[in-house]
Structures are given as structure tokens and as C-alpha cells.
Amino acid sequence: MARVHNFSAGPAALPLEVLQEVRSELVDYRGSGMSVLEMSHRSRAYQEIFDDTEVTLRRLLGVPDAYKVLFLQGGATLQFAGIPLNLMRHGRAGYVVSGNFAQKAWAEAQRYGEAVALATSGDTGFDRIPARAEIERAAAGQDLDYVYICQNNTIFGTQFHELPACGETPLVSDVSSCFLSEPLDVARFGLVYAGAQKNAGPAGVTVVIVREDLIEDGPALSVCPSYLDYRLEAAKGSMYNTPNTFGIYLCGKVFHWVEDQGGLEAMRERNLEKSRLLYDYLDQSALFHGHAQPSSRSIANVTFRTGDADLDAAFVAGAAQRGIEGVKGHRLVSGMRASVYNAVSLDSVKALRGYMEEFEAQNGTR
């Protein structure tokens, strides 16, 4: 079986062991005579799958009892609206605009109240995370319902390595592309959410972890659709409507796989090793240049370019010929991007670095 080196930003590589286990259960799930794809979400067998998935995630992250864990649909993008609709009780929230998805979340929030841009790195092409002190100064005394960040910016390859301290103001974070890549102190947040298709499972599942006291009175705005009502979703056990049953099942498999690999501390060490292998080469390369400033570099998405669009295209084409897929950069940034998520092996990263060295040896004198 030929498997490529998959650096796609999402949907992304899944652990081979998980795929093989799912394949073995696909037609007949543990003697049930049916596939999980065919199973009623109200059945006892499926409820056991769902409960195990939630319990495993809580154990992995150390989620406090005071938080609800929801498995929703609509992608992370739907939560750009869900968050202000549920949490903007006084009509004013702060946003750190550190990349494309943070910018989209900020723009969406402006439909429902006053969304204040506390800080941005747009003036330098989103190549850095705004300074923590700048964010904290801007948020101080604003009487905000929450402060919103995107912890890892998939397109630009930047990441918060220090969280802003905003006192009693809840911190809300989109953690989609760094979810399960390293430990996450859930208690630091009022709400965190993630699209599963990076590290946690297939596209179509969104995990929302929210502090119960923030939603116990229901949505902040009466226009909030029932489907986006976090209190209702929590009361219904994420089954207000038919959930993405197979996607949640697959997420549960991935959660167990992460535990089997040693948990989130082990994931962090592996991901640091992989990303450093590429960053160390970029730092000494005369041809390739990283997009993110060193202090803001992501351990999940490594972005780089040559500065020549034709060379970049040639690099991507040559990579595909060598079984290295998914390295074309996002259209907003161009260049290249290597997403080194949990399921991407060190051998794959070594293959990419080896090709970078080969390509520079052949093209570096142009």
C-alpha cells in the first residue's frame, strides 16, 4: 500500500492505525451486524461510542467538571456567529485580529454587537502574533463580554505561545489547528472550539468546550437560532438534531490513539521536533524564507517561500512527483506550507526537508 507524505492543512492526515481499525469495523461494528454509518444515534450502541469519545477527550485535556463538551456541526466557521450570539450579553467584545480566520470571526461578530479590534498584525502581513502587553492594555477597562483569539493561524503559520491575561473577562479561542498538538489548560478559557479536521478527526465535527456558567442563562441574543444555542445543545447531549455520528466515532478513535502515543506532552515533543527540523533548515537557507517571525512560529503549520512564484510552483510540482502532497501555500499567502500535525510522521518531515535541500542545490544560484 503506497501512502503519500501528506502535509495538507485540513482535511489532514489521520493516523494509519486509526484508519485500519475503522476499516476492520466498517461493515460490522463489534458484532452489531451493522456499520456505525447505519446506526441510530439514539441506539444504546451509539450512545456508548459517544460517551466514550467525550470521556476520553475530557481525560486527555483534563477538562474541569464545570465545562460542557459539545460535538457540533457546521465547521468552526459557524461558531464565528455562535460565540457572540451566546456570549455577547452586554453587546461588546474584544478581538485580536491575527490572521484570516480571526479577521472573519471579528467581521461576523460585528453583526451582533460592537466587536473591538484590540490588536492586529495585518500591517505586517500577519507574520506575527500581536504583543501580549498590547492586547492586555487594549482590553483593560473596556467592560468586554469576552476577548477572542485564534490561537494558531493555519494560513500564516503563527501561534500564540503566551495567552493574554484579561482578568475576569472570559478568554475565547479558536484552537482548530493546534488542538491536541500540545497540552491545553482549559481552565484558562471561557470557551475553546476546534474544527476536528486538523488533529482530531475528519471534517464535519466541531468540538466546543464552554464554561457552564457562561451559558446557563441561555443565549445572549434572542435572535440566536435554536441550532446555535449552547445551553440547548448541552441539555440535549449534542443531539438536538442528528449529530455527525461517524465523524464523532472516528474522533474517539483519534483521541484514544493520542493517549496511546503518550498523551499531549508526548505530542508536543514530537511536533516540536518535526517543526524544528524545518525551521532549522529555513534559518540557514539562502533560497527559502519563512513567513512567520521566529517568536510567533507555529508548531503545526510551517509557512515558507522562495520569493519567486515560478520557483514556488516548480517546488510544489516536484514535491508531488516525490509523493509529498499538500505543500502548496494558501492563496492569500502563496508560497508553501507544511502542516505537521500529529499524524504526520517524522519520516515524512525528513523527506520534505531532504527535498528542500535537493531543490535548493539545483535552483539556489538562479
Closest CA to 82 of 187, 182, 208: 208
Residue given cell 461517524 in the structure block: 246
pLDDT score at 123: 96
pLDDT in tens, 133-168: 999 999 998 999 999 999 999 999 999 999 999 999
pLDDT score at 293: 97
| Alpha carbons 82 and 206: distance in angstroms, whole number | 12
pLDDT at 246 exceeding the cut of 70: yes
Per DSSP, the residues of 186-214 read GGG-SEEEEETTTTTSSTT-EEEEEEGGG
C-alpha cell, 154: 493555519
Cβ-count burial 61-96 (b if 16+ within 10 Å, e if not): bebeeebbbbbbebbbbbbbbbbbbbbbbeeebbbb
**pLDDT band at 364; cut points 50, 70, 90:** confident
What rounded mean pLDDT belongs to the chain? 97
pLDDT in tens, 333-360: 999 999 999 999 999 999 999 999 999 9
Closest CA to 302 of 290, 314, 294: 290
pLDDT at 366 exceeding the cut of 60: no
C-alpha cell, 151: 490561537
Of the CATH numbers 3.90.1200.10, 3.60.20.10, 3.40.640.10, 3.40.50.10490, which one belongs to the domain with range 16-260? 3.40.640.10
| Alpha carbons 322 and 105: distance in angstroms, whole number | 37
| Alpha carbons 229 and 224: distance in angstroms, whole number | 7
Q: CA–CA distance from 127 to each of 19, 111, 244, 364 (Å)?
A: 35, 27, 35, 24
**SS3 assignment, position 23:** helix
DSSP state, residue 292: S
**What pTM was computed for the model?**
0.97
pLDDT in tens, 79-96: 999 999 999 999 999 999
Residue given cell 504583543 in the structure block: 131
Q: How many CB atoms are closer than 10 A to CB 362?
A: 12
Closest CA to 154 of 207, 199, 115: 199
- Domain map (residue ranges) of the chain: 16-260, 263-363
> What is the CATH topology of the domain spanning 263-363?
Aspartate Aminotransferase, domain 1 (3.90.1150)
Closest CA to 324 of 336, 333, 335: 336
The angle at the Cα of 99, spanning 96 to 104, to the nearest 5 degrees, equals 80
pLDDT score at 1: 61
> Do 264 and 184 touch, CB atoms closer than 8 A?
yes
**pLDDT band at 365; cut points 50, 70, 90:** low
Q: With 0-12 CB in 10 A as exposed, 13-18 as middle and 19+ as buried, what is 344?
A: buried
